[in-house]
Structure formats: C-alpha cells, structure tokens
Structure 1
Amino acid sequence: MSNRARSATVAAAVLAAVAAYTPSAAAQADSAFAVSASGASLMRLNTDASFVVRGTADEQAEVYSGNVAATGAGVRMLWIPQAWAFRAGKVDSFGANYWNPGSIGFGSAAFGENTRASGNHSFAAGLTTNASGDEAVALGNSGTATGDRSFSFNGTASAVGAVAIGSGAQATNDDALAMGPSSIAGGLASIVIGPSIANGNFGVAIGLQNSASGQFSVAIGKNARTANRQGSVVLGDGCAGFSSDSVYPTANNQFIARGCGGIKFFTSQNLSSGVQVAAGGGSWSSISDRNRKEHFLELDGEDVLSRLRNVPVSTWNYIAQEDSVRHMGPMAQDFSAAFGLGEDSLMINTVDIDGVNMAGVKALTTRTDALRAENEQLRAQVAAQQAEIVRMRDEQAATAARLERIEQALRAAAPRP
C-alpha cells in the first residue's frame, strides 16, 4: 500500500470514529471530540478550542507504546505520557535519534530543529541545542547544557549550575558564568563578561582579552591579567596594542591599574576635590584650584614655627612592614594637636603637611631677610666707624707732624749759650 493510500485509510478511520462517537451527557456540554480507553479519558477537544491529552506516568515502562512511528528523522509533535515529555519540531539525519526513547528525559521538552532534551526535567529549544543535564536549559543555536541545572544560550555550560550565554561562551566549572562571545569561565563560581578568561576559582574577568587566573582575582578592561596572583585586582586601559603589553601584578593581593591618559580620583559629586596622576607622571597631584576653595585666613609665620618646634620628628617603621623599611616624619596625633588640620587625628594629609612646611619655610625666609637687612646695616655702621677711625688717625698724624715742625723751629730759634 502506498503512503498516500495509507494516509487516506487513516483519515477515513479517524472520520469514522468521530462520526460514530457519542459523548456522554457530561461531555456533550463542553467537548466536541473525546478519546478514551478502558473507561479512562485520554484526549478531549473542547468547544472553545482548548484540548487535554492525558496519560499515565511510568518510569519503568517503554517510552513509546502503540503503533505511532515516533523515532527517526521527520517533522512531528509528540506527547509521551509515560515520560510526561513533549516534543515539537523537526529532526533530520543529523539528529535522527534525538527524539528516540534513549534521548528523552522524564518531564522534558524540546522544540525546534535537531533539539535534544535527554536530561530529566530539561528543556531545549532552537537549532541543534542539547540539554543533557538534569533540570538543564539549552537555547539558541548550538546551545549545550550538559551540567545539571545548567543554562546555555548559544554557548556551552558543562558543569553543575553553570551558565553560558553568547557565541562560543564556555562555562566549564560549577556555578560559573560566561557571558559574551568567546568568554570562558573555567574557575569555580567564576564570572566572565566579554571575550576574556577566568580560570581562577571565584575569579572575575570583564572586558577584552583579560585573564583572571589567580584565585578570587579580578581583571577588568583590556589586556589585564592577574598572573596567577591570588586576590589581585588589575585594571587595564586600552593603550596596549598586543597581549604581550598586558598589565599584571607582581605579588598576591596587589592592586594594579594602568591609565596611559592619567589617573584621577574624585571625592565629591561635582568633581571639585580629589587627586590625579598625569599621563606619564610619577606622583599624585592634589586638586588645588583657588576657585574650589573658600574661607581663606592669613597665617602668622612665627606662630607656625613655634608650633612646629613642638612637633617631634623621628624615624620609624610601619608594623605591617619589615623592620628594615624605615620612614621619617611626625606622628599624626602630635601634628593634629599642634595644628588641628585635616579630617582625622590619626592621619596626616599631604596637602596639610606640605602647607605647614611651606609656611615654615616662608617664616624662616622672612627671618633670614630681616637678619640680612640688619647685618647689612651693621656692616655699613662698621664701615663708617672704620672710615672715621682712619680719618682720625690721619688727623692725629698730621697734628704730630705739625708739632714736630714747631718743636724744630723753636729749637732753631733758641739762643746758643
């Protein structure tokens, strides 16, 4: 018998069944077509176009029973009550066995073309998607969710609770998240957004060509890598042309940032206060614009020197550093007690100590200028006195010479005995 003849025979049988069917009084009120077996209602088509298909769940029974040709390639819609599973769409030679009994998970559903939901309570939809993990979801084009409770949209989620979203995205460890094209989250509970890699457990990589290989490390931007340094945080800018120019830490728990255009930190909403390092610079510059300041008061330089004289200065080392790492400077408590500057008595703001030092230098400069003027005045007085002494010596010499001449004249005029 040809396929056309077989189809005609089946159609005739269905029409005959419909014509011969007489629904019960209860069913006549709300159904147009019903099928039952052994007294149990299996299917009912209601007059409002809704329908119900019933069956008996049986995890031990064959997935398929009866004479429906439900395996192999084809276009069809399937309800498998024994596995309480649903299929609708198309499978071709590529996925001919995807809707066969061995590829249908209990409580699963698959829609689209060559979709496979073999995990229990799994869901697959789209084109060539595969949800083989229990409670897994695979969507899009070639999405694969093999881990239990995993989720994939165009990517591959191969571990428990993993999530992969994007073309080529891979989440290969438990609870990992890979989002964006070519993103790879290989560390436990790692997070990747964009074409980057996070193989460190609890690592985070966001941006382009970043790598968070250290445990609980963070790489953000472009060409930032944590170089297996745990706890490190790296911020990369876009000035690196090649991966070999990446920015990376040199120790565990280190914070690294690169900004070829400079780095700025603001501490107010209107950007009126903060610090910055200029492009190519090597030290912090504080924002010190006169237009961003107020309440100016004049200083008494001598008072600053007097206060500064009472601030002890010593060498010391931080407790957290090696003893060999020495520093020089005052204690914050002494500095605060002397000048009352800054926000915290346990810290010294570099702007404040620089200001004190500058005020002290200016006061000393004023002292020096006064001493220099006084010294010049004394020098002038000494010079005048020395000139007067010379004049008096000259006059004394002239007087002595005159007296000598007078004495000589008197001796010459005296009568000879």
Structure 2
Amino acid sequence: MKSILLLVLSFLLCVTLSYAQVGIGITTPRAFFNVLYGKTVLFGYDTTGTLSSQNIFYPKLIWYGSKGAFRAGGVSGGSETFASWDKNNVGAYSFASGLDTRARGDYTTSMGRTSTANGNNSTAIGNGAQADGENSTAVGNGAWAMGNYSTALGDATQASGEEATAMGLLTVASGNCALAAGNSTHAGGTNATAFGHGTRADGYASTAMGSASSAEGAYSTAMGSNSQASGDISTAMGYLTTASGRASTAMGDETRAIGDYTTAMGSFVSTDGKVGSFAMGDHDPSHSYRSSANNQMMMRFSGGYILYSSGATSQTAAIGLQIAPGGNAWTTISDSTRKENFRSVDGAGFLQKIASMRLGSWNYKGQDAKQYRHYGPMAQDFFTAFGHDALGTIGEDKSINQADFDGVNLIAIQALIKEVQQLKADNQQLRAELKASRQGGQSTQELAKKVARLEALLSTQLDTTSASLKP
C-alpha cells in the first residue's frame, strides 16, 4: 500500500513540475520563464566583448529589460566594436543580431556583420551597412544611408540627401529626394534621378539615363550614351549629343543644340549658338552642318525630300511634292499614271482672262516695302478666272497653287503659239500672193498695204501677249 501511495505522489510531483512557471525577481510568474521588468537576461559568456583565454568570442544573447533591447550573436575585440553591446551603447527598443552589429539609435534594427544603425528608427542589414539618418535604411555591402528618411541598397551605395535613395553598385544620391540606381550613378540635384552606368543628374529635378550621360541643367533630361543636357529645361538623347541652351533639344548621333530654344536632330548637325534655330541632318559623318542665322530651319538630306499631303493607303498612290537628290527646287508629283478625269480647255479664253487680270508689283502688309516686294496676280482674281472647270473646284481664293499657276501659264503659252503659227501662215500666204501679183501685174501698192496691216496686227498681238505673261 505504501508503495502505491509513493508512486502516486511521485507522479503528481512530476506533473506539477512539468507545468511549473519560473520567476526571477518575481513571486507570481506569468510565463514558463518570467524575469522582473528592467532586468538584464544573459545567455552566454558576458555582456561585454571580453576575450576568452583562447581568443575566442563566445556567442551570446542579451535582453536589456530596462531598454526593451535585444542582442543576439557576438562582438569582437576591435576598438570600435568591443563595447558596442554594452548597455550604454544600446538604443531603446533596438534589435541587433549577427557579428559586431550595432543598433545605437532608438527603435533601430541592425543585422548581419559590422552593420550599424545610428539614426532613430533606422535599419541596417548586411555587411558593413550603415544607417545614420533618422528613419533611414541601409541594406547590402557597405551601403550607407546618411540622410534622414534615406535608403541605400546594394554594394557601396550612398544616400546622403534627405529622403534620397541609392540602389545598385557604387551609386550616390546626394540630393534631397534624389534617386540613383545602377552602376556608379550620381543623383546630386534635388528631386533628381540617375539610372544606368556612370550617369549624373546634378540639376534640380533632372534625369540622366543610359551610360555616362549627364543632366546638369534644372529640369533637364539626358538619355543614351555620353549625352549632356546642361541647359535648363534641356533634353539630350542618343550618342554624344549636347543640349546646352535653355529649352534646347538634341537628338541622334553627335548633334549639338547650342543656344537657347534650339533643336538639333539626326546626325552631325549643330545650331551653333543661333537662338531659336532648328537643324536636322542625315547620316553623313564626313560633314557637319551648322545653322547660320537665328530662328532658322536648316536641313541636310542628300537623298532628297518628299512631303506627302494625302491619306492614301499606299505610298505609291500618295500625293505631295519632293526635291530630288542634288535638286534646288520643289517639284510636284505629276506622274500621268497617277491622274484621271482629263479635260481640255479653251486656250484663247485663258488669254482673254489673263488680259483682264490685275497684274503688277506689291508687298505683304506689315513688311518693309523697300525690301520685300513681289510680282504677280491676286489670288481672288486667279480663282475667279480659273477656279472652276466642268467637274469641280481648282484651288481656293486666298492662295495660288504653284502647280496650277504653271499649268495656266503653259495653257496660255500654247494658245499664243497657235496664234503665232496662224499669223505666220497668213503672213506667208500674203507674201506668196504679193509675189504672184508682181508676176501677174497686180498693184504692188495694194499688196504692200495688206502686208503692212497683217504685220501691224501681228505686232499688236505679240505686245499684248508679252504684257499678260509678265510675272
């Protein structure tokens, strides 16, 4: 009976002990292991970096109850890290784990190896990562977040500006609210962005992308390879492009937009400091062309120019004009296979209409009459005379299409040729009659009068025609 009672008591004791709660500095523990508030708990050798006899640093786990701080891992004997886990070097409510990690600021987190979180509410994770600014974050190898609210991610990145972000390898974000990402990029301007390899964005709210591109002007953009946008509100895109003027734009291959409000596009062209000029060029690496006047458009295309003005579905059916390679004037597309609805016209009627038109010299309103004079008809007169045929409307009453102008001139010239040919035929006939009359005894005086009248008529007609065709 005693044996049975002893066995039962032993069983009850084991059950009681297995569910017991341990309290240190407290009489009524509320957990399996309960330490009094404000006490330090150590699992390991000591709370400092004391060396062991074998020069080994024992792993440890420390809870600083008075600060709500936690440490797990170990510290070495270096001058900077030896006492880094001492109570006086620990931030309130901080967390550090790994080797030689430091969480000095309040509410900080440090993890990895030799990472340091100095700023309040900062986080440092990795190898040698350092978060100095308040609310900053450094993650990676040697990442350094110096500015408040800054972020450094990657390898040897630096975010020194307020609210700046550096990502990648050897990137630097020194401007406030700046972003640098990639390899060796630098965002130095406030609100600036640098992406790619070796790019710099130093201007306010500037952007640099690509390889070795630089955006120095405020609100400038540089993209591509070795492009430079140094003017405010400038844009440089492509290879070795430069936009140095205010609100200038350079795009393509080795273009230069030098001068305010200039544009250079294509290859090997420059605005050459001419304000408001526009330069565009084809790919001709052996020759570089430059603008020669302010507010000038200069273009170089050795293959010619084509401008289409219709919405045809096929390019071969499109309407427009062109300059052939090496040409010096615009030519209209006039292929007979592209035309339809042919109608003949009355050439003599065209001559009569031209004879009644107002022709002379004039200048446009607002232009200097001594320098900008012109010859020609009025568009209203031209449209009244030639603006309609049997099928529809030709042109309009405020301008004259050069192709239509040439067409009217050719029709008039053709009519004159026919009249001259007829007059020549009549003259030849009269001369023949004169010769015959001399042989037949007809009055020479009478025939001479006929010839004189015919020649006078021919001269009058030629004078009228010449006057009507003056430009």
What TM-score, normalized to structure 2? 0.66
The separation in 2 between residues aligned to 1:7 and 1:225, in whole angstroms, is 69
Residue 86 (structure 1) aligned with residue 137 (structure 2): yes
Do residues 256 (structure 1) and 302 (structure 2) align? no
Query: Does the C-alpha gap of structure 1 residues 134 and 369 become closer, same or farther in structure 2, counting only changes over 3 Å?
Result: same
Shift of 1:342: 4.2
Q: Find the counterpart in structure 1 of residue 232 from structure 2.
A: 188
TM (norm. structure 1) is 0.74
Return the offset for 1:321: 4.2
Structure number with higher helix proportion = 1
Do the aligned partners of 1:233 and 1:255 also contact (CA within 8 Å) in 2? yes
- Partner deviation per Cα, 1:33-80 (whole Å, 9 max, x = no partner): xxxxxxx97679xxxxxxxxx9289xxxx97279x9x89xx8145666
Q: What is the distance in 2 between the residues matched to 1:306 and 1:137?
A: 76
Give the 3 Å change call, closer, same or farther, for CA 3–65 of structure 1 in structure 2.
Answer: farther
Name the structure 1 match of 2:376: 329
C-alpha separation in 2, matches of 1:63 and 1:316: 82
C-alpha deviation, 1:113, in angstroms: 1.2
CA distance in 2, matches of 1:292, 1:369: 33
Structure 1 position 64 matched with structure 2 position 115: no
Q: For 2:303, what is the secondary structure of its paired residue?
A: coil
Report the equivalent of 1:51. none
Query: Using the alignment, how far apart are the partners of 2:386 and 2:52 within structure 1?
Result: 102
Larger deviation, residues 345-354 vs 311-320: 311-320
Q: Aligned equivalents of 1:4 and 1:165: distance in 2?
A: 56
**Structure 1 residue 300, shift from structure 2 partner:** 0.7
Give distance in 1, aligned partners of 2:229 and 2:402: 43
Q: Using the alignment, how far apart are the partners of 1:2 and 1:206 within structure 2?
A: 65
Structure 2 CA distance for aligned equivalents of residues 356 and 7 of structure 1: 106
Q: Does the 8 Å contact 2:164/2:177 carry over to 1?
A: yes
Q: Is residue 63–residue 83 contact of structure 1 (8 Å, CA) maintained in 2?
A: no
Aligned residues: 339
1:282 maps to which of 321, 328, 331? 328
Determine the structure 2 residue equivalent to 1:111: 153
Specify whether residues 360 and 89 from structure 1 end up closer, same or farther in structure 2 by C-alpha distance, changes over 3 A only. Answer: same
Measure the CA separation in 1 of the matches of 2:153 and 2:185: 13
Task: Note the 1:284-299 alignment, pairs <5 A.
Answer: 284-299=330-345
Counterpart-to-counterpart distance in 2, 1:65 and 1:250: 58
Separation in structure 2 between the aligned mates of residue 294 and residue 216 of structure 1, nearest angstrom: 46
| Structure 2 partner of 1:133 | 175
Q: Secondary structure at the match of 2:250?
A: strand
Q: Shift of residue 151 of structure 1?
A: 0.2
CA drift at 1:305:
0.9
How far apart, CA to CA, are the structure 1 residues paired with 2:311 and 2:57? 78
How far, CA to CA, are the matches of 1:165 and 1:13 in structure 2?
47
* Alpha-carbon distance between aligned partners in 2 of 1:280 and 1:240, rounded to the nearest angstrom: 18
Q: Tell me the SS of whatever aligns to 1:219.
A: strand
C-alpha distance after superposition, 1:132-183 (max 9, x if no partner): 0000000111100010000001300011101011211010010000001100
**Aligned residue runs from structure 1 range 34-73, under 5 A:** 55=107, 64=118
Match of 1:164 in 2: 208
Q: CA deviation at 1:291?
A: 1.7
- The equivalent of 2:364 in structure 1 is 318
Is the 8 Å Cα contact of residues 184 and 192 (structure 1) preserved in structure 2? Answer: yes
Task: Give the partner amino acid of 1:204.
Answer: T
Provide structure 1 residue ranges, at least 5 long, that are not aligned to the other structure. 22-39, 45-53, 92-97, 391-417
Q: In the alignment, does 2:270 pair up with 1:222?
A: no
Structure 2 SS opposite 1:140 = strand
CA separation of 1:384 and 1:84: change in aligned 2, threshold 3 A? same
Q: 2:395 — aligned with what? A: 343
* 1:30 corresponding residue in structure 2: none
CA deviation map 1:73-125 (0-9, x unaligned):
x8145666x7111111112xxxxxx73xxx61111111111100001111001
Matches of 1:129 and 1:6, distance apart in 2: 38
Unaligned runs of 5+ in 2: 1-49, 69-91, 97-105, 110-115, 388-392, 443-471
CA distance in 2, matches of 1:381, 1:6: 142
Cα root mean square deviation, aligned: 3.2
CA gap of 1:5–1:364, structure 2 versus 1, over 3 A, is farther
Question: Could you tell which deviates more after superposition, 180-189 or 264-273?
Answer: 264-273
Q: 1:275 touches 1:287 (CA, 8 Å); kept in 2? A: yes
* Alpha-carbon distance between aligned partners in 1 of 2:119 and 2:192, rounded to the nearest angstrom: 31
Secondary structure at 2:269 match in 1:
coil
- Secondary structure of the residue aligned to 2:380 is helix
Task: Assess, with a 3 A threshold, how the Cα gap between structure 1 residues 65 and 310 changes in structure 2: closer, same or farther.
Answer: closer
Residue 187 of structure 1 contacts residue 201 of structure 1 at CA under 8 Å; is this kept in 2? yes
Structure 2 partner of 1:363: 415
Contact 2:386 2:394 in 1 (8 A): no
Name which of 336, 355, 360 aligns with 1:309.
355
Change over 3 Å in CA distance of 1:326–1:5 after alignment to 2 = farther
Check 1:290–1:126 CA distance in 2 against 1; reply closer, same or farther (3 A cut). same
287-296 or 356-365, which deviates more: 287-296
Equivalent residue number for residue 238 of structure 1? 283
**Residues 167 and 4 of structure 1, relative CA distance in 2, 3 Å threshold:** farther
Contact 2:51 2:57 in 1 (8 A): no
Structure 2: how far apart are the matches of 1:4 and 1:364?
124
CA distance 1:282–1:221, change in 2 (3 Å):
same
Cα displacement (A) at 1:370 = 1.3
Identify if the C-alpha distance between structure 1 residues 356 and 4 changes in structure 2 by more than 3 Å, giving closer, same or farther: farther
Q: Give the percent of matched residue pairs that are identical in Structure 1 and Structure 2.
A: 34
Q: Decide whether aligned partners of structure 1 residues 317 and 78 sit closer, same or farther in structure 2, where only a CA change above 3 A counts.
A: same
Say yes or no: does 1:13 pair with 2:61. yes
